[in-house]
Amino acid sequence: MTETKIVVITGASSGMGEATAKLLAKDGARLVLGARREERLKILKSEVEKLGGQAVYGMTDVTDVAQVEALAQLAMQTFGRIDVWINSAGIMPQSPLADKRIADWDNMIDINIKGTLYGIGAALPYMNQKQAGQIINVSSVAGHIAHQNSAVYSATKFAVQAISESLRQEMAAAQNNVRVTVVAPGAVNTELLSSVTDPQVKAGMAQFYDSFAISADRVALTIKQAINLPADTAWNEVIIRPTNQIS
């Protein structure tokens, strides 16, 4: 059950990471929260404790492997183990390739791909040692289908899918009871839209989200359900969309 789990969440200061922390807190979970914005982390820690959970936090830029490793060490020093690691940090600055928004490309690659890899690398030694654990990677429906303006974002999410499937096979072959889950949401109300730097693309996406997006709480519930499955069973991937979202 989640109240016995030690759960590390990157990207915890907003969106799906924040919603998941609050939901797990209601079951008394012990949380290790990582994000760049310390003030938000302080507030979230207080909210988690009011909801019945326990929390510590570490300022964490997932593009810095040393900071991600430090978050894992914080979990071990505070709670003695890592049961679940949730890679939730991500950005979505979509734009036409012809615009050559190279800074956006680099940021997506660094946060969405490298951040996921760094999280896996930080958690896995501890999970391998105790022969149990769960890695949950937040991907996107964009990891299954690419649209115009989504080339690099979709590429990063396709990468998360590939990384997760390879990891799943490695863990299964090792017979070490480490579960791997990918959660691939469609339109969800988070701060992701704020990372879109192309004004025209952002306006179109905002209109789409206004029409279809669901609460981040829905994704949090899916993550909680994945965690609560019996240890011999894993949801390897869950695609979760608003009911009326077509693609």
In Å, how far from its chain's centre is CA 121? 15
126 is catalytic: no
Cα dihedral 246, 216, 208, 101 sign: negative
Cα→Cα distances 39→42, 57, 133, Å: 5, 11, 30
Dihedral, CA atoms, 122, 125, 130, 133, nearest 10 degrees? Answer: 40
Cα→Cα distances 79→31, 51, 211, Å: 9, 19, 42
From the candidates 57, 118, 126, 153, which is the catalytic residue? 153
Residue 29 to residue 36: CA distance in whole angstroms? 22
In Å, how far from its chain's centre is CA 189? 15
Q: How crowded is residue 217: how many other Cβ atoms within 10 Å of its Cβ?
A: 15
Q: Which of 36, 88, 39, 89 is nearest to 60 (CA)?
A: 36
Q: Provide the token pair at 162.
A: 């590939």
Locus of tokens 């951040």: 115
Query: Catalytic residue positions?
Result: 153
